[in-house]
Amino acid sequence: MDYREVESTAEYLARLETGADWRQEIEDLARAEDVEAGWFTAMGAVQDAEVWFYDQDDQEYQSVTFDEPLEVAACVGNVADLEGDVFAHTHVVLSRKSGQALAGHLDAGTVFAGEVYMRAFEEPLVREHDPETDLDLWL
Amino acid sequence: MDYREVESTAEYLARLETGADWRQEIEDLARAEDVEAGWFTAMGAVQDAEVWFYDQDDQEYQSVTFDEPLEVAACVGNVADLEGDVFAHTHVVLSRKSGQALAGHLDAGTVFAGEVYMRAFEEPLVREHDPETDLDLWL
Amino acid sequence: MDYREVESTAEYLARLETGADWRQEIEDLARAEDVEAGWFTAMGAVQDAEVWFYDQDDQEYQSVTFDEPLEVAACVGNVADLEGDVFAHTHVVLSRKSGQALAGHLDAGTVFAGEVYMRAFEEPLVREHDPETDLDLWL
């Protein structure tokens, strides 16, 4: 395990804009405040969602699109540098009106309402290619 | 996107009381400590749960009741003022013994065991009616 | 409800090691930094998972094993003392490539990739037997 003690520089509450993209909104917050490393939790609802699942054997992401209104029951993620730009690695748990839960890596989703708490850290996080998983990982 | 930098005034760990209501316990913590704005994550188990799903077209909440023991695999929410009283906006992911996950907006649930981490912020959060979504939103 | 105001002593970001056990990695972080009380959120993916569900009537854990790659869509937990050793009480929401979500108490899971944020608190947390639930609870 690799780890690092970090120092928080700021913390934010955000309300995401209805009709905008969930992940881009979080990245826009990070850009607006020059957050190079951050951690967030969030909740709300989306009008649709494109969720990715990483195939650990083929080492490729597979995508599933849910073109329907969904609650965002939980969202956990972090902000890091990926190839010189801000990237918000965003996982979500969604739900249908039956209560059925869906989950995975959120590539995109149209915000219905979103509430986010983010902490920013002093130490930058930089994603680099990891040969074992073929993912871009930090630390 | 609307956002605000916030200052934490305190952080709390709580153990919810067996038999009490999950959301009311969180609101009672906020009231006991005069928390007007807060963010929490939590986990545990409930004896039953009433989960809401917001119908984005009809702009009404629909309710589903699960009258069975469930793990609380994840709970994310925040404390704000709603019409002069404390309101803990609470989303949860629950699970059955098969591992099947259920999720949504938690209106009520009888605590079996609950562990909560809450941060309180200096700046109050006040929910006001948002005409576009017909929800009470802050910021 | 029992609660306590806590003071944070440090915060950490960790990347879990591919092939290691998810929960043990978190406990190893706590041991390495002498964290006697902590709270964490995390995300990533596992190669398999053993998930427990607590039978509230029989007061016994039941186990379900998922021997397949899964996203870790959300992970919430805390670090406390249990019988003199570090114990990371870890709940997770997992997902299959269909987007189907599974969830519960994570006993074990082989890390594919894992990203963790942990806060450490000054005040120790000690789990003790609770006769009503037959669980080891803190506070």
**What mean pLDDT do residues B6-29 have?**
98
DSSP annotation of A25 reads H
Taking the CA of residue C81 as centre, how many other CA atoms within 13 Å lie in the half-sphere pointing to its CB?
Answer: 12
Paired residues of B80 in beta bridges: B87
- Please check whether residue B90 lies inside any domain of the structure: yes
Predicted pLDDT at A1: 87
Confirm whether C67 is domain-assigned: yes
Percent of all residues in chain B with a pLDDT value above 70, rounded to a whole number: 100
Q: Is residue A98 part of a domain?
A: yes
And the tokens for B92?
Answer: 């949860």
Q: How many CB atoms lie within 10 A of CB A123?
A: 12
Q: For residue A126, is it within any domain?
A: no
Chain B neighbors of C78, CB-CB under 8 A:
13, 43, 115, 117
Is pLDDT at C35 greater than 90 in this prediction? yes
Does pTM surpass 0.90? yes
pLDDT of amino acid C107: 98
Asked if the C-beta of B4 comes within 8 angstroms of chain C's C-beta atoms, the answer is no
Mean pLDDT score, C127-138? 97
The string of pLDDT tens digits covering residues A8-52 is 999 999 999 999 999 999 999 999 999 999 999 999 999 999 999
pLDDT in tens, B109-130: 999 999 999 999 999 999 999 9
With CA atoms as reference, the chain B residue closest to C101 would be B101
Q: Which residue has the tokens 């209501």?
A: B21
Out of A6, A75, A105, name the one closest to residue C12 (CB): A6
pLDDT value for C1: 87
Q: Residue C47 is part of which domain span?
A: 10-120
Summarised one tens digit per residue, pLDDT across range A48-67 is 999 999 999 999 999 999 99
Query: 10 Å Cβ neighbour count for B57?
Result: 7
pLDDT at site C37: 98
CA count, 13 A, side-chain hemisphere, B46? 29
Domain harbouring A89, CATH code: 3.30.1330.80
Q: Is the per-residue pLDDT at A71 higher than 90?
A: yes
Contacts of B45 in chain C (CB under 8 A): 54, 56
Q: Map residue A26 onto helix, strand or coil.
A: helix
Residue A40 lies in a domain: yes
Contact A107, A88 (CB under 8 A): no
Q: Is residue C133 in some structural domain?
A: no
pLDDT of B52 over the 90 cut = yes
User: What digits encode the pLDDT tens for the residues A77-126?
Assistant: 999 999 999 999 999 999 999 999 999 999 999 999 999 999 999 999 99
Q: Which two tokens stand for residue C71?
A: 């996203």
Report the pLDDT value the prediction gives residue C45, as an integer from 0 to 100: 98
Q: C103: which 2 tokens?
A: 């969830």
Beta bridge partners of C102: B100, C94
pLDDT at B5: 98
pLDDT at residue B123, as a whole number: 95
pLDDT for B1 equals: 87
In angstroms, the separation between the Cα of residue A121 and the nearest Cα of chain C is 10
Q: How far apart are CA B94 and CA B72, in angstroms?
A: 5
pLDDT at C122 over 90: yes
On average, the pLDDT of chain A sits at: 98
Instruction: Give domain status of residue C96, yes or no.
Output: yes
Within a domain: C20: yes
Mean pLDDT of B3-15: 98
Choose the mutation target among B71, B75, B112 for the interface with C, i.e. most C CBs under 10 Å.
Answer: B71
Q: What is the total residue count of chain C? A: 139
| Percent of residues, chain A, with pLDDT higher than 70 | 100
Across B77-88, b (16+ Cβ under 10 Å) vs e yields bbbbbbeeebbb
What is the tens place of the pLDDT at every residue in A128-137? 999 999 999 9
Q: Which amino acid is at A8?
A: S
Assess C31–A contact: CB distance below 8 Å, yes or no.
Answer: no
Which residues on adjacent β-strands are paired with residue C122?
none
Work out the percent of chain A whose per-residue pLDDT is above 90: 99
Write the CA distances from A82 to A27, A130, C114, integer angstroms. 12, 13, 17
List chains touching A (3+ CB pairs under 8 A): B, C
Burial class (CB in 10 A: 0-12, 13-18, 19+), A122: exposed
- How long is chain A? 139
Check if the beta carbon of residue B95 is closer than 8 Å to that of residue C53. yes
Number of domains in chain C: 1
> Band of the pLDDT at B12, cuts 50, 70, 90?
very high
pLDDT digits (tens, 9 = 90+) for C37-79: 999 999 999 999 999 999 999 999 999 999 999 999 999 999 9
The average pLDDT across B71-81 equals: 98
Residue type present at position B123: E
